[in-house]
Structure 1
Amino acid sequence: MSFRTTALSFTLSAFVTGTAFASQSPTQPEDQFDLAQQLALTPNTDSPSDARYWLEQSAHQGYLPAQKQLAEDYARGLTGNIDDSQAIYWFTSVALNDPTDSGFLLADFIQHHQTEVTNADLVDAWYQLSALKNPQAEEAYNQFLEQRFNQMRAKQVSEIVELDKKATVEEKQKQTKGHGEHKAEPSQAWFASGALGLAILVGGGLFGYRRHHRQTQINAANDASKSLQLETQVKELQFTNKQLKRQLEKVFKEFKKVKNQSDGQKLVVACAMFGYTPQTIPDSKAVKLRYRQLSKLYHPDSRGSEEEMKRLNQAFKTISQNVTKE
C-alpha cells in the first residue's frame, strides 16, 4: 500500500471516528475532553465554538485536564473570544483542585495580565467557586453582583444625563443661530418690496396730467406691483423651504445619532447587569448560564421583584441579539 493511500485511509478513519464521537454526545468528562481535542484539530466552520463547549462540559464535571486547557483557551482565545474573567475562574479552580499546581498557573496568569485583571475579577471567581458548595458564599456572591450592577448602573445613568445636557445645549445654540439667519433675509425682502412700491407710486404721479393715460399707468403699475409682490413672496417661500429642508436634515441626522447612542446605551446597560461589556459578550451558552444565576437574585420568589425580573429578561433579550457565536 502506497504512502498516499495510507495517509488517505488514516484521515478518513479519523474523520469517521470524530463524526461518530460527536453524534454520541458523550457524558463522561474524559470522553468530552477527547471530543474537544478532536474538534480543535478539525474545527467546524458552522460551529467554531464546539471545542470550547465540550471543554466546558468536561471542566464543569471536575476533569482537571479540561479545566487547565479551558483556562488557556479563554486566556489566549484558542477556540473563541478571549475572556480574562473566565480564565481567572478556571485557573482558580485548578489551583484549588490540583495539589501539583497549588496556584502556579493562576499566579503566572495574573503576573502577565496585571493591567487587565481587577480585584473585582478575582472576587467574582472566588465567590463563584465557593458558591458551588457553600450557601453562605452564594448569598455573598449575589450581594456582590447586585452591588457591582448598581455601581455600573449609576455610572451609566450619570453618563446618559451628561449626554442629554450636552444635546440640549447644542440644540439651543442651533435654534438661536437659525432664528438669526431667518430674520435677516425676510427684512431685506420687505425692504426691496417697499422700494419697488415707492418707485411705482412716483412713476404714476409723473403721468397724472392725463386722466385716461394715468388710469392706464395705474392699472399697469398695479399689475406690475402684484407681479413683483408675488415674485417676492415666491422667493420668500423658496428661502423658507430651503431653511426648513436644512433644519429637517439636521433633525434627521440628530435623530439617527441619538437613536444609535440609545441602542448602544441599552446594550451597555444590559451587559453591565450581566457583568460583561459589549466587547466581551461570550457565547449563548455562557450567557444563558449567567442568566440562570442572576435569576436567583432577581426572581420575586427570592430577594427580587417582578420589576427587577422584567429588567433582567429585557437585558437577556438585548444581549442575546448581540451574541456573535453560538
Structure 2
Amino acid sequence: MSFRITTLIFASSVCLSSLALAFQSPTQPEAQFDLAQQLALKPNSDSPFDVRYWLEQSAYHGYIPAQKQLAKDYGHGLTGEIDYSQAIYWFTSVALNDPTDSGFLLADFVQRHQAEVSKADLVESWYQLAALKNPQAEEAYNQFLEERFNQLRAKQLSEIVDLDKKAIAQEEQENMTFTTQQKAESSSVWYAVGAFGLALLIGGGAFGYRWHRKRAHIQSDHEITQSQQLENQVNELQFANKQLKRQFEKVFKEFKKIKEQTDNQKLAVACAMFGYTPYSIPDSKAVKLRYRQLSKLYHPDSRGSEEEMKRLNLAFKTISQNVTKG
C-alpha cells in the first residue's frame, strides 16, 4: 500500500513540474512580455537575466511594448549590461512600427546620450533593421561589419603591441633594479656572514684563552673580566645573526614585489585583447562568451592566424585565473 502511495505522489509531482515548466515557457509575445514583468517584480539571483531574455523573445515577435521596454533596458542597464547599439536598434524598430511614436523615443534617447552614442552605432542599427527585408541593405551591412571588425582588430593589435613593449621595458628595468639590489644585498649578506665568522673566531679564541688562564690559576678578578668579555662577544654574535636574518627577509620581499608587478602587467595585456580592464573583469560566463566570439575572428580558418589564436588562448587563461565567480 505504501509503495502505491509513494508512486502516486511521485507521478503527481512530475505532472505538476511539467505544468509549471509549461506555464513558465510561454510562446505568445503578450504572455512572454507579461512573464518578464512578473519576474521583474520578484527578483532573485537569476531574475535579471530571465527578464531580459523574455523581453527579447517578445520583442523579436514584434510586440511593441516589449520593444520599448527592451530598448530602455539596454539604454539604462536595468537587468544587464548597458548596450547603446542594441538600445538604438530597438528604439528604431519602435519608430518604424509604432505610428503613435514616429521616432520620438529614438530622437529623445540620442539627444540624451550624445556623448555615448556614436555615428557607427546609429549606422549599424539602421543597417541591421534594413537588412531584415532588403538584400541590398544586408550586403551593405555585412561590408560595414567587416570594415568595423578590421578597424577593431587593428586597434587591438596596436594596443597589444604597445602593452607588450611597455611590459618588456618594465620587466627589463625591474630586472636591472633587482640585479642591482641583489648585488647590494649579497654584499651586505657576505659582510654579515664574515662578521659572523669573525665573531665565532673571536668567541672561540676568547673561550680558549679563558680556559687556559683558568688552568693557570689566574686571579679571580681576571676571570670575571674574561667572562664579561665572552658575554659581550656572544651578544655581538646574536646581533650579527639578527642583521643577517633581516637582510634575507628584505631580499625575499623585493622578489615578491617584482613578481606581483610582472603578473599585473600580463593581466593588463590579456584584458586589452578582450576589451576589459583588470578592474572590470565580468563573471566566467561572460568571459567564455567573449572568448567564443573572438575565436571566430582570430581563428586561422577565419581572418586570423595561429599566432593571434595562441595569443587569445593565453589571454583567456590569464583572465580566467582572475575572473570573478558567477
TM-score bin, normalised by smaller chain: 0.5 to 0.7
What residue number does 2:144 align with? 140
Q: CA deviation at 1:55?
A: 0.7
Report the residue type matching 2:34 in the other structure. D
Q: Deviations over 1:281-324 (max 9, x none)?
A: 59958974x77766665555554556656666777785799477
Residue of structure 2 equivalent to 1:6: none
Q: Which moved more, 1:135-144 or 1:294-303?
A: 294-303
**Partner of residue 8, structure 1:** none
The alpha-carbon deviation at position 122 of structure 1 amounts to: 3.5
Whether the aligned pair in 2 keeps the contact of 1:267 and 1:319 (CA below 8 Å) is no
More divergent stretch after superposition (26-35 vs 180-189): 180-189
8 Å contact from structure 2 (residues 281, 324) kept in 1: no
Partner of 2:45: 45
**Residue type at the aligned position of 1:79:** T
Shift of 1:100: 4.0
* Residue in 1 that maps onto 2:27: 27
AA of the residue aligned to 1:156: I
For residues 312 and 32 of structure 1, what CA distance do their matches in structure 2 show? 38
2:73 counterpart residue number? 73
- 2:157 counterpart (135, 153, 159): 153
Residue 222 of structure 2 corresponds to none
The residue aligned with 2:88 is 88
Question: Could you tell me which residue of structure 2 aligns to residue 63 of structure 1?
Answer: 63
8 Å contact from structure 2 (residues 174, 258) kept in 1:
no
Alignment gaps of 5+ in structure 2: 1-15, 210-215, 217-231
Matched, 1:252 2:287: no
**Matched residues in 2 for 1:301 and 1:113: separation?**
39
CA distance in 2, matches of 1:91, 1:324: 34
RMSD across aligned C-alpha pairs, in angstroms? Answer: 5.2
1:271 aligns with 2:275: yes
Taking the aligned partners of 2:187 and 2:281, their CA distance within structure 1 comes to 52
Q: Structure 1, residues 106-143: CA drift from partner, whole Å, max 9, x if none?
A: 22222222333334444444454455560341233033
Distance in 1 between the 2:316 and 2:85 partners? 19
Change (3 A) 1:65 1:324: farther
Hey, what's the Cα distance between the residues in 1 that align with 2:316 and 2:178? 39
Deviating more after overlay: 29-38 vs 312-321: 312-321
Q: Which residue of 1 aligns with 2:266?
A: 262
In structure 2, C-alpha distance between the alignment counterparts of 1:31 and 1:98, rounded to whole Å: 20
CA spacing shift, 1:231–1:158, aligned 2, 3 Å: same
- Please show how residues 1-326 of structure 1 align to structure 2 within 5 Å: 20=20, 23-130=23-130, 132=132, 134-180=138-184, 182-183=186-187, 239-271=243-275, 279=280, 284=285, 288=289, 297-298=297-298, 302-304=302-304, 322=323
> TM-score normalised to the size of structure 2?
0.63
Q: Alignment partner of 1:81: what SS?
A: coil
Give the aligned residue type for 1:258.
Answer: T
Q: CA deviation at 1:269?
A: 1.6
Q: Is the contact made by 1:298 and 1:308 (CA closer than 8 Å) also made in structure 2? A: yes
Alignment check: 8 A CA contact 2:92 2:126 kept: yes
Counterpart of 1:81, as a letter, is E
One-letter code aligned to 2:26: P
The 1:78/1:121 distance shift into structure 2, 3 A limit, reads same
Match of 1:209 in 2: none
SS of the residue corresponding to residue 48 of structure 2 reads coil
Deviation, structure 1 residue 147: 1.7
- Residue-by-residue CA offset, 1:218-247 (whole Å, 9 max, x unaligned): xxxxxxxxxx99999998776555433321
Superposed displacement of residue 56, structure 1: 1.5
Q: Secondary structure at the match of 2:52?
A: helix
2-side partners of 1:320 and 1:34: how far apart? Answer: 40
Give 3-state SS (helix, strand or coil) of 1:48's partner. Answer: helix
Q: Please say if residues 49 and 79 of structure 2, whose CA atoms lie closer than 8 Å, have aligned partners that are also in contact.
A: yes
User: What is the TM-score normalised by the length of structure 1?
Assistant: 0.63
Q: How many angstroms does 1:150 deviate by?
A: 2.3
Residue equivalent to 1:223? none
* Cα distance in 2 between the residues matched to 1:262 and 1:145: 25
* Number of equivalences: 290
